[in-house]
Amino acid sequence: MNGAITQAMTGLAAGEAKLGHLATDELDATHGVVLYLENITVSFDGFKALDNLSLAIDVGELRCVIGPNGAGKTTMMDVITGKTRPDSGTVFFGQTIDLTQFSEAEIAHAGIGRKFQKPTIFEHHSVFENLELAMKTDKRVHKTLFAKLVPEERRRIAETLALIRLEDCVVRAAGLLSHGQKQWLEIGMLLMQEPKLLLLDEPVAGMSDEETERTAELFQSLAGKHSLVVVEHDMQFIEKIARKVTVLHEGSVLAEGPMEQVRNDPRVIEVYLGR
């Protein structure tokens, strides 16, 4: 992205930010970019966890972010979601919204979903109920308290159940699911909220080989339809799902490009893959 566009975006953002609120329908991704981090620096007691990091994610892209422990991957997600404020730099959601001006709740509401390692599912509710509860409803009328699901909502739940392969566990209490199934349920719950961007930090950690394989298939089926940023250590998993890969090292981008290219990059082999 060139400087002129960046400047124009910054100008617009100043106005947006003053509104102090953010709605999903404000996202302007007309240039095909859903997220644009520019020159982000985050210091913890003088140590730069992110060091002038710049990164752009296209609409519908499945981006894998890899890199050694401490490279700044989780901090990057914390900055995008408003959990950590950068010392400097901007985070644009679409063309006009500078996320550094908004709270965590506002950013989530605007359509950025994040999956944490420990799933936040309702253990005592069934799989179906978990998806139902996750669905965006009109909070003003407390619809879920008394209204029946409309056919469209049932269709969406059925579609998600198929995608996350929990069709055979619809009435099972979420707490009784396997580790992998719980992770899929949480991904399903995030999808029910129709996020504009989904961030997943180490989604296959602790999964069996078979669960990892199934998760790779799930992510492949999401690519193109959703914008996803996946941080993961499991290189077998990354190899299966990767299109474009970003390698973080010491808080900035060491290499970026198609998996085939990144895998053979001598710098990447030196600091990460060769170890």
Give the footprint of Mg ion on this chain (CB under 5 A).
Answer: 73-74
3-state secondary structure at position 114: strand
Does residue 160 belong to the site contacting ligand ADP (CB under 6 A)? no
Q: Which of 78, 153 has the CB closer to Mg ion?
A: 78
Spatial contact of 226 and 198, defined as CB atoms under 8 Å apart: yes
Does residue 49 belong to the site contacting ligand ADP (CB under 6 A)? yes
Kindly report the three-state secondary structure assignment for every residue of 169-225: HCCCEHHHCCHHHHHHHHHHHHHHCCCCEEEEECCCCCCCHHHHHHHHHHHHHHECC
Binding partner of 71, given ligand ADP, Mg ion, none, CB within 5-8 angstroms per partner class: ligand ADP
Binding partner of 69, given Mg ion, ligand ADP, none, CB within 5-8 angstroms per partner class: ligand ADP
Q: Which of 72, 188 has the CB closer to ligand ADP?
A: 72
Question: According to CB under 6 A, which one of 44, 120, 141, 194 is a site residue for ligand ADP?
Answer: 44
Question: According to CB under 6 A, which one of 37, 64, 73, 110 is a site residue for ligand ADP?
Answer: 73
Spatial contact of 48 and 71, defined as CB atoms under 8 Å apart: no
Size of the site for ligand ADP (CB under 6 A): 10
Q: Which residues contact 88 (CB under 8 A, 6 or more apart)?
A: 39, 40, 41
Spatial distance between the Cα atoms of 143 and 25, rounded to a whole number of angstroms:
21
Does residue 72 belong to the site contacting ligand ADP (CB under 6 A)? yes
Spatial distance between the Cα atoms of 169 and 258, rounded to a whole number of angstroms:
37
Q: Which stretch binds ligand ADP (CB under 6 A): 69-77, 87-95, 109-117, 164-172?
A: 69-77
